[in-house]
A and B are shown apart, each in its own frame.
Chain A
């Protein structure tokens, strides 16, 4: 009988704890942890892809600078200036890193069950309540269940509070996160004619294609082979542009994904991350296939 009263007291304590904390966390919208995790995942994809594209960009530009250098009377440093200097590339990478750190912290906040600090505090919560309840000799399996239940309620409460806070921070940070991602997309360029990386790479590929095309006019040229190499250069130009365009699209999608997180929308997240994944994989496949054709065709 005494034990039953003590169990009831514990249950009442749990219920009151619930009521108080549910009042604290309320029924507000929260940041869906799965959307935050997807934002983090999308950033990782874009980060790897962008580093590869920037490296390839510089390597291609250097190749054309060397073609030009062969015709120069003297050589200046400016003749071999990297397409994108190390400092600028480092700023790009630092921006990606800052975004990844932010996404990682937001993911921890949106799913605090994984945080060691929070987990440790929660572990002792259930046991602490029971310690204050019936004496040890009155302990039973029911008591253990109650301890677990209290701990679980604590987790729910802390989780709800954390997700609400994650939403609040994401809402506040959304304009800044969007500004960074849109700036990066802007640096890639919206097309091949309005300035940016896409314009530079398009122009360089046009140069490469025309160098090949001019060989067609040389006496004794193997016209079929030159025509095939010219076609490959034209395809290479298209492929490189599509890869940059896909990276730009992925950056814009990431901005939309963050806004979805900030508005507590989880439905859009899956579609957006799928789209980012497709864009990156498509660009990668295109570049790999272009590289394979280039080595088979022997485009120099």
Chain B
């Protein structure tokens, strides 16, 4: 779908450019107006097709963004885990204190 819209927009935009070049050789105002009218219709369609293409691409973008949203959830979980690590350090310090007390006790035996 994207590929067809791309090709179509390229064809229409080429036509606008071609008509613009034709205008280079025109000196009659009525002939210029005719070319302008034709160019206006092609340009209108360039815009319409461009809008449709952007719409299609934005849907693809939406799908791709889902993976970034999942990554964000992972980061949130990691932040929680880091807070847990700080808590774990406390647990280790508690444990080491107990070990020291046990060593002290052993020395008195």
Residues of A within 8 A of B (CB): 9, 13, 16-17, 20-21, 61, 64-65, 67-68, 71, 78-79, 81-85, 87-89, 91-92, 94-95, 98-99, 101-102, 105-106, 108-109, 112, 115, 117-118, 121-122, 124-125, 128-129, 132-133, 150, 154, 157-158, 161-162, 165-166, 169, 172-173, 176-177, 179-180, 183-184, 186-187, 192-197, 199-200, 202-204, 206-207, 209-211, 213-214, 217-219
Contacts and interface: CB of A to CB of B under 8 A. Distances in A.
Contact of A195 (B40, B53, B75): B53
Interface string B1-22: 0000111011011101101100
Contact of A183 (B14, B57, B79): B57
B17 A102 contact: no
Interface in B15-34: 16-17, 19-20, 23, 26-29, 32-33
Give the dominant DSSP class at B's interface. helix
Given A92-B61, A214-B32, A172 B74 contact: yes
A221 B75 CA distance: 65
Nearest to A89: B58
Contact of B72 (A78, A98, A133): A98
Nearest to B6: A195
Contacts of B27: 217
A217 B90 contact: no
A68 B39 CA distance: 10
A199 B65 CA distance: 25
Given A128-B93, A132-B94, A161-B82, A177 B10 contact: no
B33 to A, nearest CB: 7
B79 A108 contact: yes
A20 B89 CA distance: 10
B4 to A, nearest CB: 11
Contacts of B32: 214, 217
Contact of B82 (A101, A109, A196): A109
Given A13-B96, A102-B72, A173-B74, A91 B58 contact: yes
A199 B48 CA distance: 12
Interface range on chain B (Cβ under 8 Å from partner): 35 or more
A187 B59 CA distance: 11
B40 A67 contact: yes
Contacts of A213: 23
Given A9-B100, A88-B54, A192-B13, 14 more contacts: A82-B51, A89-B58, A98-B69, A98-B72, A121-B83, A166-B75, A166-B78, A177-B71, A195-B13, A199-B9, A207-B16, A214-B23, A214-B36, A217-B29
B37 A17 contact: no
Contacts of B60: 183
A193 B7 CA distance: 10
| Most A-side CB within 10 Å, residue of B12, B33, B53, B61 | B61
A297 to B, nearest CB: 21
B13 to A, nearest CB: 5
A61 B89 contact: no
Contact of B43 (A64, A81, A115, A176): A64
Contact of B78 (A109, A195, A197): A109
Interface string B87-104: 101101110110010000
22 contacts: A16-B96, A17-B92, A61-B47, A68-B44, A87-B55, A95-B64, A95-B65, A118-B86, A162-B78, A162-B82, A166-B75, A176-B64, A195-B50, A196-B54, A197-B50, A200-B50, A200-B51, A203-B47, A204-B43, A204-B47, A217-B29, A218-B29
Given A112-B82, A124-B90, A78 B67 contact: no
B10 A195 contact: yes
